[in-house]
Structure 1
Amino acid sequence: MAVNRYIAVQREAVEEIVGNRLLQTTDFELGDQLGEFLSGRELDLAKIAPRLMAQRGASNAGLIITCAGAKTPAFVVFDLEESHLFGDSQAKVDAVQCFQRVLRFSVKYWDQRVLNPTELIYPAYSKAVIFPFPISQKTGFRISVDLNPYAGRLQKRGQSERYLLVYKSGREENQGPAETPSFTVFRKFIEDLAKIELGVHVAIPEGATIASFQNVSIGSPPGRLDIHQGYDLWMRALTSEQRRFVESGLATPMRIEGPAGTGKTLCLALKAVHGLRTSEGVDVENSSLFVTHSEASRRSIVSVLQSMDADNFLTALSPRRVLKVATLQGLCAEILRRELSDTELLDPDAYDAKQIQLLYVEDAFHRAKDELGTYQKFLSSSFLSFLSSEDEWPIIQMLQHEIGVVIKGRANEQFDAYKRVPALKSGLPLVNDGDKSFVWRVYELYREQLISGAQFDTDDVMLSALGQLATPIWRRRRSREGYDCIYIDETHLFNMNELSIFHHLTKREDRFQIAFAVDRSQAIGDRGWAGDFDWETLVPQESQRLDHSKMKVSSVFRCSSDIVNLAFSVTSSGANLFTNFEDPLALANSNQSFEEERICEPPAFVVFENDEALVDGSYERAERMSREMASSRGDVAIVAFTEELFRALIAKAELANKPVEVLKERGNVEVVRRAKQSGRFVLSMPDYVGGLEFDGVVLVGVDQGRVPPSGGISHESRAFMNFTAHNRLYVAITRARYRVLVTGVRARGPSSILNTAFSSHAIQLRE
């Protein structure tokens, strides 16, 4: 097999390659073939796709990739000897990334389009430098390009400025743009090019190898796939990793992890449908359960499953194969249906119930403070200082977590047990039993409100249902009324009480067929987890010797590379502060086609003089964003980071008749659908936009004193508020496919959470 000293790609062939979504990453089979080829591995001779063709010149030194019918004499030439860009030592996933980034730069350079911050041109030297990897992966690796190689000789032939030469790669800058590359291999390419005919298919000499390029239509524009499409269409659009997860059997628990936008929910839904279809094919029973966090998410999943032709499973026409979609609270209420009615719940929707619970805790705290003199002499000095000097709102939020996660979850509502439970690491600064006595008093006053209203909160429902499931009656009925397979979406939003339910719901006690999706960095606040607690809680201790499989999704399908960088800057700035704040973007790449990249723009921070100007300006910028991307208003979300700004934006919309749909519950796709149909912006807050996606987002009020709130005085409350602020900002940023605009007030300045992003140029300050 001939060893390639160069690879040259013609202009039209460049556009074919960068426009094919399936060639952007090795997660797809075609992208993997491209990576194999670039990395120098031997491949079987494959049939070349209709538009792409490969020719080997007379010198046999390299490969020239052209496009059928194309005559443009412009090429990107990779000098493989000098650049060492591809080869056995270069991982194929990196090879594809570098190849694609160079080709995309080439098109933008030829068309004189705006470049990314990671693409730098030095006009005085006629050179360019490309940084191909996100800052979350490799910093400093660069690719050097000569924009007019061999200029003197080619100018005499009238061929100047036709070619781009990739002549160097690595982390060393050396002489920078002043460096003079070697043209030895490039001259071979020029000699070979003179002896071939462009746009004509020429057979590849025997012994030469080339990967097969194909264009595969999946029924929708690249990257803009409608989630409401058929099962078969989706299966054709999956990456190799996703397909492996979907098609693998569910004999033991399976976990799919990945950052926002990687299709975890989609994979979970497809896996449920695939399992039922497989059971139907072999005519065996399959009773499956799909669990969501909120009622809005449940409706969204039902809609997606109906689009996947799963109606026959959802409607239970065949009782032998049924897919039930439910919220966990609704499921537990059903288990307790003889003892609990809907009117006894704080709210039928789990998320709204949490908000009502917060109001009850606030009232209980105010009443407990009136009794503070009784407890004062028993309190530690640090906790007393915390109560007296801290703003109320962070205290109330932390008390809500303490009651739900620790008192009810870990201590089973027993004071002696509560005293023995260690404090949450991102929770209240509890030092001694006196501190816990005061918190217990808040809990008692909170519980009195539930009793007087004949109501039960979410944790009551979960723990009561858990008690019902741990009885001889359920153990006897389990094999008949339990579920063969359980699928849990957004597991990161459930606390330990809620996670403890699932392993009781399977038909068998020795086999836990549970698949669940996790992105811990999307969890709003501390869930009380420790280490790998999500797995350990889903399966009982005596069964933890069983294997379970864990799959991490490595490609971000939704976000542009610039948005990935910004999201990484946010997560990395909080990664060392908190026990469970993982870096979800360590393996993240953007998987957008070049056409999508054309409408992308680097994230920017825009300042306004005051809050009134901030509200007006945010609407104006959203209008401009929609217009510049040629997107409908419904594809742009305006996300307010405080309740005050949220109310101000709503008031402005009502006063000035602004076109908005207000989203007030997490994952409500009905609001988003209405917004798109009526041409209205989606106005919301970070807590509600999880699980949704937009072309662009405008984040309002991400400035000092608001993100995180300035109320945090104690170390503990600052840690808690910082934790939730990082969560919320990460969630909001990763809703966007193409553009993120962050706004704030000039006097406040940008939030400190964005300091890392500014220093790494992941976000720009714009007037």
Structure 2
Amino acid sequence: MNTIWIGENVLRALGEQGHSVLADAILHLDSNPPAATSGGVKFEVAGKRFLAGAVLENVYALFDVAPTRERPPLQPWRSLILPGHVVDEFLDHKDWETLYKRLLDIANIQESRERAGLKYLRQQSVHTIFVPGGYHRLHFTVEGSNLSTVLGLFDADLWSTHTNSATIRQPTPQQLSAWNKLNEAALDAQQGLPPLVRPVEQQPVPVPAPLRDGWITLNQLREQGITNDGTMRHILSMRGEDDLLEIMGQVTDEQYEPIERAFTKWLHSEARRRERKLTTLEVYQLTTSSRSAHGARSYEAAMALLTSQQINVVNLGRDVPIRLQGGPGTGKTFTAVMRAGMLARRAKEQGQPVRVGFFVFNHDLGGRIFEQMLALGLDPFLEDTSPQHIVITSLHDWCARFVKVDELKVEPLAPYRAEKGDSHRRAAIELAVDEARKRLRGPEYDHLWALFDMKSKNGLWEIETEISQFIKARDIVDLSSYLTEKRPPGWWLANTEKAFKKFVWEIASIYNDALRTLGFVDSDDLTNDAIKEVTKTVWQQYRKPEQGFDYLILDEAQDFFRNQLTLLRHLVKRPEGFMMCFDEAQAVYSRYPSLRDIGFDTEARFQGTRLEQNFRSTRQIVAALQQLLGNYPTLGLVDNWGAFSSGSEGTGERPVACGFSSAATMLDQVRDIIRGSIRNGTKPSDIGVIGFDEELMEQVSDQLKRSEVAVHRLMGDGKRTSSKAVTVSTARQVKGQQFEVCVIVGADRDRLPNFKGVKSEVYREQRREDDLKLFVVAMSRCKRSLHLLWHGTEPSEFISAMGGAVDMRG
């Protein structure tokens, strides 16, 4: 479950009998999470209307409820924060009604603390009241005058003596800070929202206030030709994406487009402004769903579960950079987490400070690392004030904070993701190409546009890749350098005449102009700006000792680009203090260069270890993966895995492959597999449906929703999967996930590999390798039950390549 902020007025309005309504409202938010840019969203459950919204990603708020029979309180009530693990604990509790009444007591603690039966106690920051019906106490904090954070149910024995209560785990200063900042952000988000309409006595119509500048200035509206008083007030009052729909009939299409663009940018800026008030660690603390572990015994227990190979990596004492290679499910990331813990623990024992950087590919993976460290009892090392400090961050977040992009008042685009990705990045690309078509006209450009359209059969994917992975990844700043920069054989435009390359450079230049016009900055430019800063003498000599890292761990290294790897090398104080975890067979974002191409993956520079035991999937699934890669020896992917084998117990069933004549029947099979799995006891959150294009995944989502199956679309934005929802995702976005049951859809001959628009044999081999990697990622997410579905005449060549390792049915 996600963290929930509940406004004090909501609790007062629901009253003593509101437990079932509140539970339904929380479940609705969990199943239908609003976007951070949605402003306020309204929904109805059990006859009550709620006003809710997203304060941060994975942190939601219940702002208001109607109707109500609330009475003015004798003392001000408090808003409540329920962390994700507390929400899970409460909603699954057999006596949720009693717990709900204790929540009312906490919200009204000034009055209730003296009531007989509650047995109110306190130990430093932790307050507690007794919960009847079991020998438990509810722990919470009392922060300021208007907030309490519920910490969960604990054994009452902890309070039986002063000695016992002294051992109670106290919230860290970082946690207290995060909860207070969340409360401020929620109140800030609520302030601009209109209250829900409630039946009240007729009041005189107020005189309209004078028009004032808001999220957009009055002169900017007049510049668009909007002068009507009512229309201007309506536009200025907008607070969420849904409000845009209400003004469509009040403005022309020409007026609507710049308003939509400016408003969307403002919404994202507001969401990011709220998040930037918190440190990265505070964001992880608010979005994690795990209760902190206590003590270090869990770390020792985890060490006992590691293989001898993993233990050697964790405890390696020599000053040498480490490259940890291995197939999916071999424990690369967990081994890296354990090594980070060992470095911090060892430094503490020696009384030495150490700063360990743990860099991940995206924010969602960072949250998973944070949860693992909590479970291992490593959270003291995550505190900023700890002399032995572990920093978990994505490179994008680190760059945005390092460059202080907030001070520039521009919005950073999300990093390149090779498919749908960030809507603003795609919009900027589309705008640049549209503008280029207007500017670059005439006979000298007609054949170039025809060539461009022929070479860009995958929408604008090729030009987006060229800009991100070639021009910006190499920090190419002029046409001459662009034309002379060497490309590997088979890379897009490798064998293209200079005239067309000049044409592409012009489009890239227009793209940069479009970003400036829209007020955005490309994530790749943030990386390049950070490189320029950290290579300066001042930073290297005077700031690196404090801001640099004694040891830097890079997870999913195969997906980082050339300039990103260059930056990371400058952040570590010594070349020996570098560890990377990677699997080239799962490189689905970075096409070029490989780690070996730029000198990262070499035996001479790194202490190399390859993990070969898979702990995730059954032996049957691992056997199918081995058979698959073994049939493509020229691609060399199987060499990355070595003697890849399964360490999980039991062989399980072979993956099942089924073909259907129509997409509709295939989608029916998806629905039936999911229903059957849930009936057999599989949690919806342990089921994943994975495909290879957005359109098909939208069809899957629609089919499941019509069948009343809750769906969570994984979009790479860090949104946590609801415990009641099935995950639906493309293969690229599903990295880092794992499921008990996986259904792979669209694995037919015409869709996988996707050779649409590919002319040369070189490009065909590239596409085959790219799509094979995606297929491997999809298959390797599965722990137990794997289903491969297609529709049409024949299955994908990848399914056929597995032969008897899969159970072919039709």
Q: TM-score, normalised by structure 1?
A: 0.62
In the other structure, the counterpart of 1:611 is 663
User: Contact (CA 8 Å) 1:705, 1:748: kept in 2 or not?
Assistant: no
2:390 is the alignment partner of 1:323? yes
* SS in structure 1 at match of 2:676: helix
In the other structure, the counterpart of 2:519 is 454
In the other structure, the counterpart of 1:590 is 646
1:272 to 340, 343, 348: 340
In the other structure, the counterpart of 1:482 is 548
How far apart are the structure 2 equivalents of 1:512 and 1:500?
15
AA of the residue aligned to 1:620: D
- For residue 385 of structure 1, report the CA deviation from its aligned partner: 7.4
1:43-82 equivalences in 2 (<5 Å): none
Structure 1 residues 299, 456: closer, same or farther in 2, change over 3 A?
A: same
Q: Give every structure 1 segment of 4 or more consecutive aligned residues whose post-TM-superposition deviation is greater than 6 Å.
A: 226-229, 348-353
- For residue 268 of structure 1, report the CA deviation from its aligned partner: 0.6
User: Contact (CA 8 Å) 1:662, 1:682: kept in 2 or not?
Assistant: yes
User: Contact (CA 8 Å) 1:230, 1:307: kept in 2 or not?
Assistant: yes
AA of the residue aligned to 1:560: T
In the other structure, the counterpart of 1:222 is none
Q: What are the superposed Cα offsets for residues 233-260 of structure 1, whole Å, 9 maximum, x if unpaired? A: 2111000000110111262211100000
Q: Which runs of 5+ in 1 are unaligned?
A: 1-225, 538-543
- For residue 525 of structure 1, report the CA deviation from its aligned partner: 4.2
Q: What are the superposed Cα offsets for residues 77-120 of structure 1, whole Å, 9 maximum, x if unpaired? A: xxxxxxxxxxxxxxxxxxxxxxxxxxxxxxxxxxxxxxxxxxxx
- For residue 552 of structure 1, report the CA deviation from its aligned partner: 0.5
In the other structure, the counterpart of 1:693 is 738
Structure 1 residues 325, 338: closer, same or farther in 2, change over 3 A?
A: same
In the other structure, the counterpart of 1:654 is 705
1:731-750 equivalences in 2 (<5 Å): 731-745=777-791, 747-750=792-795
How far apart are the structure 1 equivalents of 2:754 and 2:624?
21
How far apart are the structure 2 equivalents of 1:488 and 1:757?
33
2:457 is the alignment partner of 1:392? yes
User: Contact (CA 8 Å) 1:375, 1:438: kept in 2 or not?
Assistant: no
* SS in structure 2 at match of 1:576: helix
Structure 1 residues 466, 353: closer, same or farther in 2, change over 3 A?
A: farther
2:626 is the alignment partner of 1:568? yes
In the other structure, the counterpart of 1:12 is none
1:4-403 equivalences in 2 (<5 Å): 230-249=298-317, 251-318=319-386, 320-337=387-404, 341=408, 343-347=410-414, 356-368=424-436, 371=440, 375=444, 387-389=452-454, 392-393=457-458, 396-403=460-467
In the other structure, the counterpart of 1:703 is 748
Q: What are the superposed Cα offsets for residues 198-255 of structure 1, whole Å, 9 maximum, x if unpaired? A: xxxxxxxxxxxxxxxxxxxxxxxxxxxx999931221110000001101112622111
How far apart are the structure 1 equivalents of 2:444 and 2:411?
33
User: Contact (CA 8 Å) 1:411, 1:417: kept in 2 or not?
Assistant: no
In the other structure, the counterpart of 1:621 is 673
User: Contact (CA 8 Å) 1:695, 1:738: kept in 2 or not?
Assistant: yes
* SS in structure 1 at match of 2:458: helix
User: Contact (CA 8 Å) 1:399, 1:428: kept in 2 or not?
Assistant: no
2:771 is the alignment partner of 1:725? yes
Where relative contact order (Cα < 8 A, 6+ residues apart) is larger, the structure is 1
Q: Which runs of 5+ in 2 are unaligned?
A: 1-290
User: Contact (CA 8 Å) 2:748, 2:790: kept in 1 or not?
Assistant: yes
User: Contact (CA 8 Å) 1:404, 1:459: kept in 2 or not?
Assistant: yes
User: Contact (CA 8 Å) 1:571, 1:582: kept in 2 or not?
Assistant: yes
How far apart are the structure 2 equivalents of 1:666 and 1:741?
26
- For residue 453 of structure 1, report the CA deviation from its aligned partner: 1.5
Structure 1 residues 683, 536: closer, same or farther in 2, change over 3 A?
A: closer
In the other structure, the counterpart of 1:34 is none
- For residue 368 of structure 1, report the CA deviation from its aligned partner: 3.8
AA of the residue aligned to 2:740: D
In the other structure, the counterpart of 1:712 is 757
Structure 1 residues 374, 447: closer, same or farther in 2, change over 3 A?
A: farther
In the other structure, the counterpart of 2:23 is none
- For residue 340 of structure 1, report the CA deviation from its aligned partner: 5.2
1:407 to 471, 479, 497: 471
In the other structure, the counterpart of 2:566 is 500
In the other structure, the counterpart of 2:611 is 553
- For residue 731 of structure 1, report the CA deviation from its aligned partner: 0.3
User: Contact (CA 8 Å) 1:559, 1:734: kept in 2 or not?
Assistant: yes
- For residue 497 of structure 1, report the CA deviation from its aligned partner: 1.3
How far apart are the structure 2 equivalents of 1:590 and 1:546?
30
User: Contact (CA 8 Å) 2:558, 2:594: kept in 1 or not?
Assistant: no
Q: What are the superposed Cα offsets for residues 34-79 of structure 1, whole Å, 9 maximum, x if unpaired? A: xxxxxxxxxxxxxxxxxxxxxxxxxxxxxxxxxxxxxxxxxxxxxx
- For residue 299 of structure 1, report the CA deviation from its aligned partner: 1.4
2:508 is the alignment partner of 1:443? yes
How far apart are the structure 2 equivalents of 1:227 and 1:608?
47
Structure 1 residues 469, 250: closer, same or farther in 2, change over 3 A?
A: farther
AA of the residue aligned to 1:726: L
Q: TM-score, normalised by structure 2?
A: 0.59
In the other structure, the counterpart of 1:89 is none
- For residue 269 of structure 1, report the CA deviation from its aligned partner: 0.6
In the other structure, the counterpart of 1:755 is 800
* SS in structure 2 at match of 1:552: strand
Structure 1 residues 342, 585: closer, same or farther in 2, change over 3 A?
A: farther
AA of the residue aligned to 1:306: L
- For residue 534 of structure 1, report the CA deviation from its aligned partner: 5.7
In the other structure, the counterpart of 1:682 is 727
AA of the residue aligned to 2:774: R
How far apart are the structure 2 equivalents of 1:649 and 1:564?
27
Q: What are the superposed Cα offsets for residues 513-533 of structure 1, whole Å, 9 maximum, x if unpaired? A: 011100112121443114613
AA of the residue aligned to 2:642: A
In the other structure, the counterpart of 1:46 is none
Task: Report the more deviating stretch, 344-353 or 429-438.
Answer: 344-353
2:540 is the alignment partner of 1:472? no
How far apart are the structure 2 equivalents of 1:339 and 1:622?
44
* SS in structure 2 at match of 1:302: helix
Identity %: 21
In the other structure, the counterpart of 1:20 is none
- For residue 478 of structure 1, report the CA deviation from its aligned partner: 1.4
User: Contact (CA 8 Å) 1:525, 1:724: kept in 2 or not?
Assistant: no
2:588 is the alignment partner of 1:528? no
AA of the residue aligned to 1:568: Q
- For residue 404 of structure 1, report the CA deviation from its aligned partner: 1.5
In the other structure, the counterpart of 1:128 is none
AA of the residue aligned to 1:703: D
- For residue 697 of structure 1, report the CA deviation from its aligned partner: 0.6
In the other structure, the counterpart of 2:557 is 491
Structure 1 residues 341, 272: closer, same or farther in 2, change over 3 A?
A: farther
- For residue 644 of structure 1, report the CA deviation from its aligned partner: 1.5
CA RMSD of aligned residues (A): 3.0
* SS in structure 1 at match of 2:668: helix
* SS in structure 2 at match of 1:325: strand
Q: What are the superposed Cα offsets for residues 293-343 of structure 1, whole Å, 9 maximum, x if unpaired? A: 11111111111111111111112342x211111110111122211785574
How far apart are the structure 2 equivalents of 1:571 and 1:667?
31
AA of the residue aligned to 1:324: V
* SS in structure 2 at match of 1:536: coil
How far apart are the structure 1 equivalents of 2:718 and 2:664?
29
In the other structure, the counterpart of 2:809 is 766
Task: Report the more deviating stretch, 236-245 or 333-342.
Answer: 333-342
How far apart are the structure 1 equivalents of 2:456 and 2:540?
48
* SS in structure 2 at match of 1:713: coil
